[in-house]
Chains A and B, each alone.
Chain A
Amino acid sequence: MDLTAFAGEVGEAGPVTISGMATRGGPVPGVRAVQPPAGIEWIQADEMTMRCGAGTPVDDVDAALAEYGQCIALPPHGTVGGALSLGHSGIRRLGYGPERDVLLQACYISDRGHVVQAGGPTVKNVSGFDLCRLLVGARGTLGFIGDVILRTRPLPADSQWFTTEVDDPFPTFARLYRPTSVLWSGSRMWVLLEGHPADVAAQAEACSLTPCSGPPELPSGSRRVVAPSAVGSVAGTFIAEVGVGIVHHADPTPDLGPIESSVTNLARRIKAEFDPSGRLNPGVVVA
């Protein structure tokens, strides 16, 4: 994808922010905003890869991939670039892995307005440092992603949500073989099983799970992260991702205090190397 025009918009100086569909917070207010290109450039089903502009809606990508029997492990809605820049995986993370494992190559615009390629086009690649993973979750503070090559995955033959009442999710969790998602509210669990229909049915039966229409609505007060083993001790109204440790809580996030200062220093050095003048998404601090 030709990113020359987008690079020109980002320019070489002055504060600039990037805007997608504003589903994940939107651009920095009061700052000149640019939009990355949108559109699917190609889908190579036999490579399980695709290339698209960062401004492409995730839902468009999923719809296009469905025609090839494939999907993308990004949470729905908003743009591909927005999903990657925030770096929050969806509730299928247990089975599909984190968002960062989806991004194979990113062409981004640097603080100096140059197009920079990070990563490479193939699923397997250890050529040079892994800048792609640094970009995922960086919220546009190190460069503005223009286009990406993503790893796709096959759609499962069968996909069914189940539920059951349990005070402790771990015994059932231990018995399941690679479930796609296991959610728990403190008293009820929801399980997404995918694969061959007979395997899905057999696993559900072995764990006394009842089919249900889908996952519960997630509380939106805060999205917290705890060690997976600490999920059992979360209090209040919540839905926890068992085996992952992400907790969707009804209450806002408590103040966790400052994080380890050496990591903060390292994060500052990263920002200083990639955007010394602080012009990209000014005011956004990733630490």
Chain B
Amino acid sequence: MTTSLVDDLGAALSPDRVRVGETELALYRRDASNLEGHAGAVCFPTTASEVQACVRVAVRHGRPFVARGAGTGLAGGATPLDDAILIVTTKMNRVLSVDPISRLAWVEPGVLNLDLTRAVTKHGLHFAPDPSSQQSCSIGGNVANNSGGPHCLADGVTTAHVIGLEVVLPDGEIVQLGGEEADAAGYDLRGAFVGSEGMCGIATKVCVRLTQNPPAVRTMLMDFASVEAGAQTVSAIIASGMVPAALEMMDQLCTRAVEEYIHAGLPVDAAAILLVEVAGLPNGVEADVQRIVEIGKAHGAGTVRIAQDEAERALLWKGRKNAFGAIARIKPNYYLHDTVVPRRRLPEVLKQVYEIVERHELLVMNVFHAGDGNLHPLLVFDKREPGVMDRVHAAGEEIVRVSVAAGGVLSGEHGIGLEKRDFMSLMFNAEDLDAQARLRRAFDTTGLANPNKVLPSPASCGDVQHVPEGAWI
């Protein structure tokens, strides 16, 4: 760490917002994954020009820089490598304007996802993407990862809800990508930026589309004697022409852990439970509830519990959203995977996941966005057990491989980051990856914006490597 770099950053912001103490650097060595790096300095800008100034200092010193929001990412996207300058946007947390008529808002990147929804609730609106971390994740992070959430089944992921961005490009230039105007002329640079995991610049303002709160919501829980029956119900609901607001599934081990944790009266003897939410206008909602219950029964659903009031609905969702807290009752450590498979392949892929995990003598809990085919196998273990990490590694890689082999994709919502960088060649050939590298080069002429994430180095193309060391929680 050269003094002049710290001095330059201090002059660009103010010395108290540039941190270089080892204790503080240690706090920022990783995101919510356990992929660790080391930051050269941690900066807390409060304006776009301060972000610009940080970026310019980084470029002048030839030092990589990494944008970080709340640090809830699960793929190591915000892990600083090679003493990178970490540019943290948490102090840029103002909702700048809300247009309740056009249902748009301009916000700073550090605004927390749920805080945005809270700020617009009085207008009967919400921000649709709702990752499980929505109480603590930032809009800037949502943009970087193109985040999803249970309610993205009907309403789409972040890119469908971000229409404009102010971005500091890696060369320090400030540009506006997209905006309030729909289908404006020019390339969809906004679309290219969303999900680029901090490798195309740093968003300093975000124009989001807000969604009307539904007049009617019905939430129901169905239980099944087999995981297959639950998965087939999911496919049948979609095939019948309905797109529920959310369609989530939990297997037995997960249900039991959650029930012990929150006492919601969940059916702990069932092999799988489905949480289905339907939202919209009242007649459509009631008709859909009736059809979904019929489809569930036709596929062997045992009991069907329909939330009778908001309190019961909240309790059912609490079970889903706190599943990860509940697992601590089983084993002290977990590793959360994120892959997508075609819905019709869910039963067989889940079966393979159970087989893989059993072969590696691990435990798995499945709690996932079934409607999207978005699997979240949660490997639970005790890392003090000798050799367990190798088994977790191996099982994780096999799960990714069977998902892609079933016609699925590497990640549904967590992103690639460092975690899956070296798996990219399972899905893309050298030409495909080269095209992505071209996009990145057009945005980042310096090569300093969060380098070595997402895209495998050309040398490793076609040669899948293990997830980097330290990838485990």
Contacts and interface: CB of A to CB of B under 8 A. Distances in A.
Interface string A234-270: 0000000101111000000000000110110111011
Given A122-B340, A245-B180, A269-B442, A154 B102 contact: no
Given A110-B435, A121-B407, A124-B157, A155 B241 contact: yes
A120 B283 contact: no
B182 A245 contact: yes
Interface stretch (A13-21, A26-34, A55-63, A111-119): A111-119
Interface residues of B, number: 91
A42 to B, nearest CB: 11
Contacts of A155: 241
Interface string A74-110: 0000000000000111000100011011000000001
Interface string A176-197: 0110000000000000000111
Which of B183, B191, B192 gathers the greatest number of chain A CB atoms within 10 Å? B183
B325 interface: no
A128 B436 contact: yes
A168 B341 CA distance: 47
A177 B90 CA distance: 34
B411 A127 contact: yes
Nearest to A243: B102
A138 interface: yes
B411 A126 contact: yes
A266 B281 contact: no
B435 A131 contact: yes
Nearest to B439: A129
B441 A134 contact: no
A229 B443 CA distance: 31
Interface string B192-210: 1011100000000000000
B102 to A, nearest CB: 4
B459 interface: no
Given A126-B411, A174-B101, A274-B435, A133 B183 contact: no
A121 B342 CA distance: 8
Given A118-B432, A129-B436, A273 B441 contact: yes
Contacts of B436: 128-129, 131
The bracket for how many chain A residues form the interface is 35 or more
A69 interface: yes
Interface stretch (A44-52, A159-167, A212-220): A44-52
A7 to B, nearest CB: 11
A225 interface: yes
A41 interface: no
Contacts of A228: 99, 101-102, 104, 180, 182
A93 B182 CA distance: 10
Given A100-B188, A130-B146, A131-B435, A270 B182 contact: no
A5 interface: no
B35 to A, nearest CB: 17
Contacts of B415: 126
Which of A45, A46, A272 gathers the greatest number of chain B CB atoms within 10 Å? A46
Interface string B344-377: 1000000000000000000000000100111000
Nearest to B164: A227
Contact of B183 (A87, A115, A287): A87
Contact of B212 (A97, A115, A126, A178): A178
A98 B287 CA distance: 28
B184 interface: yes
Contacts of B181: 225-227, 245
A196 B173 contact: no
B440 interface: yes
A205 to B, nearest CB: 13
Nearest to A275: B438
Contacts of B212: 177-178
B281 A70 contact: no
A98 B412 contact: no
Given A126-B412, A127-B409, A142-B187, 7 more contacts: A44-B344, A46-B344, A47-B343, A97-B156, A122-B341, A133-B188, A177-B280
Which are the 9 A-B pairs with shortest beta-carbon distances?
A: A133-B191, A196-B284, A46-B239, A199-B281, A228-B102, A198-B283, A273-B438, A154-B241, A227-B180
